[in-house]
Amino acid sequence: MEVWILYGDDIDSTADLAFEMRRFLAEGEKMGIEVKAFKPNQFDLLVTEENRDQIIIDGKWTNLPDFIFPYFNHSDHSYFSLAIVRQFERMGVPVFNNADTLERVRDKLHAHQILAEKRHTNARHNVSKVPYQY
């Protein structure tokens, strides 16, 4: 089994998510799962009817993995990162969590609007202009 984790930062840094990435790689190896980490900027997206079992990474066509795990940092709100996830979804690769979920949780107001619409109990939230004028 081959798993790709989409992670945009330096795996060797001291950041919390980098530590978790190193754990994913180590635990995958222990379990006999091939886990690879890729940064969004390594991908080139080409939308075509042909060649639906490969994607371009670092300029080379690469076979698709068994599934994708987007593990973007909290500051990665780029359109391109979501476009990569959507490309994998359209190519039939299972993605955990999918692009719609990622997009919803990136926007706190949108997430709370969805929860309120579904009548899920949550704390009251106020989104205001910054700076707030009294």
Q: Is residue 51 part of a domain?
A: yes
Q: Is residue 55 part of a domain?
A: yes
Q: Is residue 8 part of a domain?
A: yes
Q: Is residue 115 part of a domain?
A: no
Q: Is residue 105 part of a domain?
A: no
Please tell me the number of Cα atoms within 13 Å of 68 on its side-chain side. Answer: 27
Q: Is residue 45 part of a domain?
A: yes
Over residues 16-25, the pLDDT tens digits come to: 888 999 999 9
Q: Please count the structural domains in the chain.
A: 1
Q: What does pTM read for this prediction? A: 0.77
Lowest mean pLDDT among 46-60, 86-100, 108-122: 108-122
Here the tokens at position 95 are: 């993605």
Q: Is residue 114 part of a domain?
A: no
The answer for residues whose C-beta is within 8 angstroms of residue 78's C-beta and 6 or more apart is 40
Q: What residue numbers bound the domain in which 34 lies?
A: 2-97
Q: 20: exposed, middle or buried (C-beta count within 10 Å: 0-12, 13-18, 19+)?
A: middle
Here the tokens at position 2 are: 């081959």
Residue 91's domain is classified under what CATH number? 3.40.50.20
Q: pLDDT band at 2, cuts 50/70/90?
A: very high
Q: Is residue 119 part of a domain?
A: no
Tell me how many degrees the CA angle 46-99-6 measures, rounded to the nearest 5.
Answer: 70
